[in-house]
Amino acid sequence: MVIFAIGVKILLAGAFGFFLVFFMLCLYWAKEWHPERRAIIGFLVSTLYTFGFFLGGVLILVSVVLFLQYLFPIIKSWKFPL
């Protein structure tokens, strides 16, 4: 569970950084095309893509934790003839 806790902290920091960078890029893009609604567009698009980033990160993190906790000891216990 230590790996999961560290992974969640890294994932949250990465998602926060992803949101900030993507929000700034969306604001810059929307400034030219939709100047009156640029903050709303930037926030909604950034939130949507950050949710996808976070969901993908959680799925990868859960896969790694399950592999390390259950599958790796099973594979390690197999005896292969040389």
Which tens digits make up the pLDDT trace of 32-73? 888 888 888 889 999 999 999 999 999 999 999 888 888 877
Give the per-residue pLDDT at 71.
Answer: 82
Closest CA to 41 of 51, 54, 28: 28
Predicted TM-score of the model (pTM): 0.77
Q: Quick one: pLDDT at residue 57?
A: 95
Return the closest-CA partner of residue 3 out of 75, 79, 78, 72: 72
Q: How far apart are CA 10 and CA 72, in angstroms?
A: 23
What's the pLDDT score for residue 77?
78
Q: pLDDT at residue 82 above 70?
A: no
* Domain locations in the chain as residue ranges: 2-72
* Per-residue model confidence (pLDDT) at position 20: 96
- For the cut 70, the answer to whether the pLDDT of residue 9 exceeds it is yes
Nearest to 14 by CA among 74, 56, 48: 56
> Looking at this protein, which amino acid is placed at residue 11?
L
